[in-house]
A and B are shown apart, each in its own frame.
Chain A
Amino acid sequence: MKRLASLLSRATLCLLLCLALGAATAVAADQEKLNINTATVEQLAKVPGLNETLAQEIVKYREEMGDIKAMDELLEIKGMDKALLEKLQESIMIEGVSGSDCTC
């Protein structure tokens, strides 16, 4: 019984460590991704799957519409499709200004 309890607590510890490592890895990975709402055309053009034209269109969309809130919005841009969006998830993250603070 004692041995089982010891095994269980070690397993739990391992699981917790794995989760923590996974979370830290995810955070670190996120920090390496480009924020679509602050990236320049030059930065976006270097992202695998994008080119100069698409990069310009993304920035143009962003300038016209305000911060991008979800990757699906990019489907409005000619040349973007779901497969490309899927690929972009590896390199792009979304952090936007909420714009919701209004004190009027």
Chain B
Amino acid sequence: MNDFESRLMQMLDERAGIAQPHDRLVSVIDPAIVSPRHAGPSARWRVMVAVAAILALGLTGWAIVTKKDHHEPASNPASPTTRVTEAEDASPTTPVASASPTSTEPATTAAETEVPTATPTTTVTLAPAASSPASTNTAASIPVSSTAETIDNPDIPVTGRFQTPDDQLAIAMADTEVDRECMAAKGWRYPATTAQDWAEFGGAWQPDAVLGVRGLVAASTFGYHGTNIDDATQPAQILFRTLSSQEKKRFGTDSNACFGELTAAFGGDLYVRQQSARAFVIGIVGEDFKRMTPATDEVASAEGGPAVTAALASWRSCLQSAVGETAATPSEMEGRYRFAVSVTTHEKLVARADVVCQQQTSLWLIDRTAVAAKERELMGDNVDTYDELSRLNQQMAAKARQILADRGILVPSL
């Protein structure tokens, strides 16, 4: 081993020493913790222990798990009235505030909805994002019929645990705002995240087997070089890196204290139950272990079912008509462009057409409906946990919108 390698080892050891492992064993091995409504005194006690443990141990990592759940592309309503253009003036200048930022209307459930039938689209019109309709709860606004590829529980959304992109964005914004307020009170100044940045974040590409870039603002700004601002949604992370070692220690202490306020703002019990259920469900369906878990192969096969297959065919036709090129899936389309050195005007045009075609074919809703149904099957005896997570996700979104509304903050259109 030479000097450089010795130095490297020492540097790695020192850096690894900064990490703070969080003991979350209780949420790994005990799914009962997430279903207190079915639980007796013992399970309720475990919930209380978990809350206490999180607060006592300062598990700040839990505060960002919600943001890390932003894997589902959006499906905003598309304007059918504007012309296709490659001109840069088609790019948005400012995001449009949501028309109903205070809405707490629950997502449509399986009992109320119909699965849309994807129809081939031959013309596409690309509205500038700034003039597109305000973002809404897609699951609630698109009719869905009951088929074999939908969830058979009428009490939960047809898209199961998948939150609409707008709901995801609302939660991320509320998290950040509560944290920012708390830390500001302790003397820490955070950079402001603009509405444009939030809109880009909410509509940016996320890893997914089928779906790709999901918002017109993100597509117009970054094309397929979409941003996923995990860190940018946490200004604390940015500020943290500017601090000295001593300041970092104090910051960490204050941040841990603010995590308590964050869980309280969402309702401590709700927050813990949602995070625990999410961890358990993700662990089973294995989103992040696609190459290793049979369960995920089954989920992938759901996305190849008749409804999704038809929707994808419509999307392909739509995109071909609009820009003269297409791909098997939006995810594949994204892969063709995103590794290029820089974004081109043409790439932005294609990305915008991609998003519009996803919207016109209801691809997000159809795909998430099928995947949710499959995931729910995979839960087996733990299906109650899946349903509980679906309900908790709705509650979290409603609470987030309330937090934002109380502060006069609008959720930008994607």
A and B: partners?
Answer: no
